[in-house]
Structure 1
Amino acid sequence: MGSATFCWDSCGLIVQLALPFSLPAGDVEITVPQGSGVTVLVKRGTLALALRSCYLIADKRHVDTLSVKPGERRSFAFTCQDPAKHFVLEIKKNIDCASGLCPLGEVPLQPPVSAMPALNRTFVWDVHARKSTGLELRFSGPRLRQMGPGDYCPDGITHTISGLVAAAVVRIGTFCGNNGTVSRIKLQEGAKVALHVPWYQNRNMSGFSIANHTAIKRLCIIESVFEGEGAATLMSANYPAGFPEDELMTWQFVVPAHLRASVTFLDFNLSNCERKEERVEYYIPGSATNPEVFRLDDPQPGNMAGNFNLSLQGCDQDAQSPGILRLRFRVLVQIPQNESNKTYVVDLSQDRTLSLTIQPRSKLSRRFVAGCFVCLESRTCSPNVTLAPGSRYTISFLCDDLTRLWAMAEKTLSCMDYHYCQRKSFPLQVPSDILRLPVQLRDFSWRLQVPKDRLSLALTPARKLQQHTHERPCNASSSYLVASGGPGQDVYFGSFCVGGSIKQLLLRQNSSVTLRTFAPRLQTEVPGLTVSFLPYFKEEGIFTVTPDTKTKVYLRTPNWDHGLPALSSMSWNISVPSGQEACLTFSKERTGVVCQSGRAFMIIQEQRTRAEEIFSLEDDRLPKPSFHRHSFWVNISNCSPASGKQLDLLFWVTVTPRTLDLTVVIAAVVGGGVSLLFVLGLIICCAKKKKKKVDRGPAVGVYNGNVNTQMPLQPKKFPKGRQDNDSHVYAVIDDTMVYGHLLQGSSGSFLQPEVDTYRPFQGAMGDRPPSPPPTTKLAEDEPESEPYTFSHPSQAAGSHGSTLAPLLDTQEPGRPAE
């Protein structure tokens, strides 16, 4: 077997080593000089406690731990070729700065890494000092960066610094040795420094030194140095466990005078105080109120120039339930921007229901990114600020790029007095103070509240709106998001932007309207919207649509992604301008809805003639494209759908100039000619009867049967002239004799008015949507039959021809007659 020998004395280091970097299964000999204060411990690693595939052999037996104290020499060996996976090396050294002279200067690394087995090793220095004198550790090499739970160092080398409080060890923190800001740590009494070096690293320096020490009346002071722009994340002692009771801890920040520093609390927790109060204190050079005291849940100072101190003060905790005090915060140092010198006033003192929040658009990054802060009165700064109603605020921004911030506001508009609110109107406006802010207004939400089952809401835009769909998306700089909510039922009506054909939205219950912007700055011309309070109605919503000529208006049912709510009804009041006709088209042939209970129906109803068509959305095909020359309703009523079979419909309306059908023109011309001949005949008949004064007896309603009806082939067979006979004169013309053939059906019988048909809508037309058929489920013992008949009403007095829109082919829809 090979062998290796380690030995050193208190004055110098003598190394005799015959050992490769990868330790073979050979003998290793360690000698610790007397009086060195060093103890070497070989033990199993934490992760290898359950593994017994490798053993440590000392004194010809298997052991789990081997300790070599000052003045001892020990030999040992391993039974495997990879002992680094199973065992670790711990070198402890005691330094006494209390009873004698303290060895100032850099602390040496003994023994050197190259003289040790290739095991993960931890150097531990236990430094003792008096409480009255304290202790200072300096890190002259790369400054330290504090690690949080779950963090790791790229090179695997860490420093763990601990202090003492009444003989109890308090962990100040664990640090990496690169890319940090921590340069010094002062402790009240004693310190314990642990340097962990992985087996594959050849580090030959401890990285810290002991400097002149002075007494401090607190647990510790940590110095953090910034030479330029940067950020540091720091934590309270014992984080994430509790900060020691009634202790004081301070961080000193060294910041160049031309830079600005801001503090953000990332995470904190408060204990249960019995006496005093937990707080943080800032000492800011030049401040007239030093120290400035803040609660942990207050916005913290920002835009601070030069050096400053931050202290965390604990309290006397409840012995029965002490709780945990902890703090993790971030200090950001950056070049001040021109925007930081500008202030903006947001006056919410006259509005008791309006609040404003300004916050970052994205989360913080691990790498340094110049921060964006909102400062109140130029000093109290935070990445996000909420301005409460009823106060007046002066704010400024410490930010290199204001597009990284946005604002969101919320206002409640409640009108609960039925008699006062009915028919009242209120504009939904964004206050000018908010519009003047240099950040994007992301959302402005109005919460509209009405008395239940007493009032409903009407939203009337200053300019007609377009509903956002995939077929025609909104491309404006802002949109309105409209939703309503009730017990167990939320309805999202959709997103709407200006430039469409929707003239009004009626909403049944409490609703929210959110103005969402997509541009960095909202233009001064904000889309206007007015809310009115109306008598209560039962439809979930009613849209009033006034399409423009040759404009395709896309409309879809609410809750598009989840389906129309169960047992709810929606209506669209679609106006058709005079001289125009509207083509109604659905995007699919069937809805695909499957009802668990109730029935799903759609009603298309002409508002002028009362003609309506009823379609079962569960069984029937949706209607093919149809033309309508008068305003009409589209009403959709849902059932209780089965899971996964939701009701959602997309349809569109196109308005074009009305054209006359050729057959209609011919019929009109022929009808006019017949009418003219009929009038002329009556005039002639009356004149002849007056001239001859012939009494032909009572009218019989038939023409003269004594006249020869044969065509006059030769003049001699018709001796009288036409002016001398009455063959062309009718005494009375009965309508049934002239137009009777138009009233006959295909079988030859005369049509009779339809009876026993379902007519759900009985009120005045035009101002209310059609009432849906009942959707209650039939009783189990009642035979199910079709309870509805598609009615084709007969001609009513004052109507203008047939009101039924024919169901036509999608590719080539026909046009109804005038």
Structure 2
Amino acid sequence: HINRSQTAQSKCEVCIGKLCQHSVTLINNTEVVFNCAHPEDIFTVEIVKQIGRDRCNEYPSLQNFSRTFTWNVSTQAQKAFSLNFTKAGLRQIRPTESCQDKHVYTVSAGRTTLGRFCRHGTIKGMKVSNEGSVSLQVPGKGQMDPTTFDISVGDHIPLLPIIQVSLPEEESSQEFLSPNYPDSFPDNDLVTWSFRVPPKYYTTVRIQNYTDPKCQRKDARLEYQLYFKRVVKKLSETQLSEYQGSFNLSLQNCPMQPSSALSLHFSISAIKRGSEDLRKEKELQIHIKKRKPKSACVLKLNSQIQETATIFSSRISYLSFYDCAEEDLLLNINQNIGRVLMVPVLEKCLLGVLQQVTWRLYVPQHGAVELMFPLGSQQQSLAGQTCNSSVLLTVTEHEQGNITVGQFCPQGPIHKVQIRSNITVTASPVDSNDLRQITYALLKGSFMETINEHYIFTVLPKKDTSVLLATPAWPVGMRPYSTVSWIVSFPSQLEAQVVFTNVSQVSCPNQHKGIKVQKQGSRDETYSWRIGEKLKDVVVEESFYLNMSNCRPSKGSFSVVNKILSITLSVLSVLLVLVVAVLAVVCIINRKKKKQAAPEVSVYNPNGHAFLPGLHGIPKTTEDEDVHIYHCIDDTMVYGHLLKDGTEMNHFEPAVDSYQAFTGPTERQPLTEPEVGVYRLFTGLEKGYVSGLVLADASVLLNPCPSKGASTTLHLSYDTNGKVLKILLWRRNWETKKKMVVCR
């Protein structure tokens, strides 16, 4: 068939004798003439031959044209033909893709297109029943290789096609498409891919894209024919994962409703793994049991039928499974180990869902064990604290019986745990998952010198978060005379609020002082309570220790849940920021009427506190004048006791135009009105300004801009003991007759 391209602009024609037209069909040897110079740019050629077992050869006279070779194959009734591509192999491509060498194969079975393919791939053959065709597109001036594939006739197959795939002996990934893709796979039809997998390779099937048909009855499905069992999956389900060995995969369509369609795009990847010899694992035990004792699954250990079986890494055991699916068996692993805690890699032939792994860590004499989390910090699994994880870790100690220290999952503030006894760590899946999928280290265990406490938790909370921390063995209660410490660390100038959300009712016969909060680096207790007392919420401005020690309770058991609320900027830090911000506003307002200022002088306050500087002169004002007030902080948040005793202040060099962080303790309870004592007035000169104020160990920059014709006044309010209760800094502009409160 010689056809002029539909997109050709030329009116060139092909002529047989005097008859010229835009297309001709040749059956016998015929001389043709083109009435243009380069017909190969305008015409395409399709060469079709009906064959049984032979092939169609090249036509040298047409080699300059783009050609499509089509071989139509038909067999006798109850027969099938095989296409053998073993010399080159084929690789399936999408309908819009092309091949690097421009040679594209199209294989059809009846009216169904099995796909488009390039040379050099993993598809080694196809079996098609009754009739089909193979087409090869060859570009102009390219030569067709007649030895690319062979055709043979064999026995009938009871399904549409079988596509034979041989995966290479290397890590690889292949993509496959359903027949007629992206159009619908035929109604109620079946196609099978037969995958040959080399030894020691494990394959995983992933659905890349699909359309699910609306079925009149039954459902479209994928069916795996494995070595010893058959598995049926919906298109929406997770498919075969890391399976060892060859297998068949069939796509079965349903009787579809009108305007419905089924299409499938999937990939298969293969990775190599060496033979996992369990004898390399030290002190490993694997317990196998049937999920349902009355199931058809038969488990044999050393040729003996068993309902449960235990194998040891130090021995050679012979296991056999008959009519057993993966989900019919449950596996538990116990292992004595000293360092990294990982799920042992099991042979794929060992069937069963791995539901639990337990590691035992034996602490040396006068030592302790430290557990680190390689994938980041952990959190305790408690009510009100969500664990988004597929694995839950349970830590149990064995000093006096089996006591659960706690359950842990990722994404939390607990950085490490130290325990002064032998422990076991048990990994269990969440939502019935299989622990075989866990290929990373869950914990890192190490041994260290003994610790004073029984348990130490290192906690690194994040800013603006809240976390829950429970005492070991919650909610049962800590064992008598046991101790626990939380080392809570966070950046400077931040603070944490500790709330005791759940405290058990317990009585100690000796009024045991069992709960302490202590700042890190300090030997003094910041807060402390006896067991049985009502616990109050506390705010700690520095990294701290939270220590708890149990007595031998005469009633009840000792257990506490602590909640560390959001880490926020401390009150003093907020005060400093606001003071600077307000004074910047005052500076801008007064610069508009800026006049020459008098020089600074230092003033000695008879109360013993040195203040930078103020110029003498008392402005005369009345309380009923119009006042513009700028609040730095509310009166209820005043901390006047930051001013130390004068003897201390005399040794402090006040800073000017600088900012220093405050590190001293602060009182958390706000002062209440009315104030006690006298109201003393400290003033500067009439035409001066206050440029700095010193508060204890911190220097707070209070620097209103200098302005002629304005005055600044500093008021200090004291109690009967001389303790400062209030500081009021304000300035008056004589031209506007107004005063502005700069800061209270």
- Shorter chain as denominator, the TM-score bin is 0.3 to 0.5
Structure with the greater alpha carbon radius of gyration: 1
Report the TM-score when normalising by structure 2. 0.47
> TM-score if structure 1 supplies the norm length?
0.44
